[in-house]
Amino acid sequence: MDVTDLEPHRGELVAYCYRMLGSFHEAEDLVQETMLRAWRARDRYDPARASVRTWLYRIATNACLTALEGRPRRPLPSGLGAPSEDPRAALTPAFDIPWLQPFPDPRLDAEARADMRLALVVAMQVLPPRQRAVLVLREVLEFTAAEVADQLGTTVPAVNSALQRARAALRTAGDVGEVTEPDDPEVRGAVERYLRAFQAADVTALVRLLTDDAVLEMPPVPLWYRGRRDYGLFMSRVFETRGTDWGVRRLTANGQPAFAAYAPEPGGGHRRLHTLQVLTVVGGRVARNVVFADPRVFQAFDLPERIPVDDFSRQR
C-alpha cells in the first residue's frame, strides 16, 4: 500500500467527518489525522478483511467519536431558544458557542455532497455520536450492517437498533428539508430575484420573496427572527447601517444556493466582505437564510476580503 491508495478517499472522508462534527475545519483536521494513522498502520492492513475504503472509514469513525467525547452539539441560533421580536436588538457575537459551519461545495464532487443540507446536519447534531455514525454509514454511505458493526466494534443487532433510534429521533426533530438542487429552474429563479432585490436594498421586494414564516439567523450572533415582518425590519436596519450599494458572489454550500455579500466601502471604489448567506428555497420562495459572519467560514470558501466595484459589474 502507498499513499495513492489513500488519497482518492480524502474528499468523501471530509464530507463524512463534517456530517459527524458540523465543522468543516475540524473535518479536514480529522481526515488528515485519519490518513496519518492509516499510513502508520499500513503494514497491519489486511485486504482479506476489508477494502481500503472500509478500513479508512473505521479509522475516521474512531477519530470522530474520540473528538466528540464530552463536547456539546453544534447548533444554529434557531436551536437555542425563541425568535427575537426586536429588530434593533444588539448584535453581540457569542464566540463561546461552537456554531455549526457551512460546507463549501467546490471542495467535493456532487455525489459526495449528498444529504448535506444544513437542516439535516443540524438535526443530526442532536443524535448521540454513535447513532450519528450509524445513520451516516448506513443511510448515506450505504455500508452494510455487518461493515458498520466492524467499523464500530459492535454487533449487527446493535447497529440495527441504533439505526432505528436515530431514524425515530430525526422524525421528531421537525422539518429537515427536502433535497432541492441549486440549479433547479424554480430555485434558480427565486434566488436571482432575491439577489436583485438584495443588491438594490429593496426591502419590499425581498419580503415578497419570502415564505410567511421565513427564518433569518446569523451565527455567531445568537438571536434569530421568524416571519416576513421581522425579517424585513431587520433588513431595513442592515441597509440603513451599512449602505445600499451591495455586491454579491453566487456560491453553493451544503448543496444549497448561497452567496457572499459585499458591503459598500467609503469612497465607493471597493466593497468589503460582510457575510456568507445560505438560502433554503421552498415553493419558489426563500424559507430560511442562514447568515454566517465568522472569518473562519470565509476562509473555507476562499473569499477575498475586498473586491473592486467594477468586478461586480462584470459579473452581472
Give the model confidence (pLDDT) of 71-87 as tens digits: 889 999 999 999 999 99
- Number of residues written out for the chain: 316
Give 2's pLDDT tier (boundaries 50, 70, 90): low
Full residue range of the structural domain in which residue 188 is found: 72-126+176-316
- DSSP letter for each residue of 143-193: --HHHHHHHHTS-HHHHHHHHHHHHHHHHTT--------TTSHHHHHHHHH
Task: Please give the pLDDT value at position 50.
Answer: 87
CA distance 227 to 208: 12
- Look at residue 256 and tell me if it is in a domain: yes
Window from 59-73, 114-128, 150-164, 184-198 with minimum mean pLDDT: 114-128
**Residue 53 falls within a domain, yes or no?**
no
Inform me whether the pLDDT recorded for 267 exceeds 60.
Answer: yes
The answer to whether position 85 is within a domain reads yes
Residue 182 lies in a domain: yes
Q: Summarize the confidence of residues 126-141 as an average pLDDT.
A: 94
Cis peptide before 220 (omega within 30 of 0): yes
Q: Please, which pLDDT band fits residue 170 given cuts at 50, 70 and 90?
A: confident
Dihedral sign computed on CA atoms, order 105, 107, 111, 117? negative
Percent of the chain with pLDDT over 70: 93
Give pLDDT, residue 312: 74
Asked if pLDDT for residue 132 goes beyond 70, the answer is yes
pLDDT for 91 equals: 94
Q: What is the pLDDT of residue 203?
A: 97
Q: Looking at 17-21, 36-40, 114-118, 246-250, which range is the least confident one? A: 114-118
CA atoms within 13 A on the CB side of 298: 15
Average model confidence (pLDDT) across the chain: 91
Q: Is residue 58 in a domain?
A: no
Number of folded domains in the chain?
1
Give the confidence band of 181 by pLDDT, cuts at 50, 70, 90.
Answer: low
State in Å, rounded, how far the first CA of the chain is from the last one. 49
- Which pLDDT does position 1 carry in this prediction? 64
**153 inside domain:** no
Phi and psi at residue 80, to the nearest 5°? -115, -5
Query: Domain with 279 in it: what CATH number?
Result: 3.10.450.50
The 8-class DSSP code of residue 8 comes to G
Does residue 251 register a pLDDT over 80?
yes
Q: Looking at per-residue confidence, does 253 or 171 come out higher?
A: 253
Q: How sure is the predictor about 313, in pLDDT bands with cuts at 50, 70 and 90?
A: low
